[in-house]
């Protein structure tokens, strides 16, 4: 199993239209047939010094293997997401893991 975890910091996090566009873009992104399971979330309301909560959105996406992840990245949903939403974020951080 290959798990792709991505954190996004928006340029204008208080802009409701940008947030709505971004959330819709994430839903479209994760509708790719290579994605076995996924989640979209925002920071939890926790108060612990070890918890990073400065991001605006995060996703997890599970793939059968690295090859299916690579096919997802080359797919139309990924391209559409970048074309539509890349202008909305100021920072992105990716973590990939194998299990």
89 and 10 Cβ atoms separated by less than 8 Å: yes
pLDDT computed for residue 53 by the predictor: 92
**Beta partners for residue 38, in sequence order:** 61
pLDDT computed for residue 38 by the predictor: 98
pLDDT computed for residue 47 by the predictor: 87
3 and 96 Cβ atoms separated by less than 8 Å: yes
Q: Which pair of tokens denotes residue 72?
A: 């997802």
**Beta partners for residue 8, in sequence order:** 57, 92
Fold of 2-45+54-98: Alpha-Beta Plaits (3.30.70)
Q: State how far the Cα of 96 lies from the Cα of 75, in Å rounded to an integer.
A: 18
From first to last of the 99 residues of the chain, give the pLDDT tens digit.
999 999 999 999 999 999 999 999 999 999 999 999 999 999 999 989 998 899 999 999 999 999 999 999 999 999 999 999 999 999 999 999 999
pLDDT computed for residue 75 by the predictor: 95
């Amino acid at each position: 199993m290959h798990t792709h975890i991505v954190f996004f910091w928006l340029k204008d996090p208080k802009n409701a239209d940008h947030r709505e566009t971004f959330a819709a873009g994430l839903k479209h992104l994760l509708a790719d047939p290579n994605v076995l399971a996924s989640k979209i979330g925002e920071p939890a309301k926790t108060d612990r010094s070890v918890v990073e909560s400065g991001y605006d959105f995060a996703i997890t996406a599970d793939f059968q293997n690295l090859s299916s992840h690579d096919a997802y990245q080359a797919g139309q949903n990924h391209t559409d997401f970048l074309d539509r939403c890349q202008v909305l974020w100021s920072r992105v951080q990716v973590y990939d893991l194998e299990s």
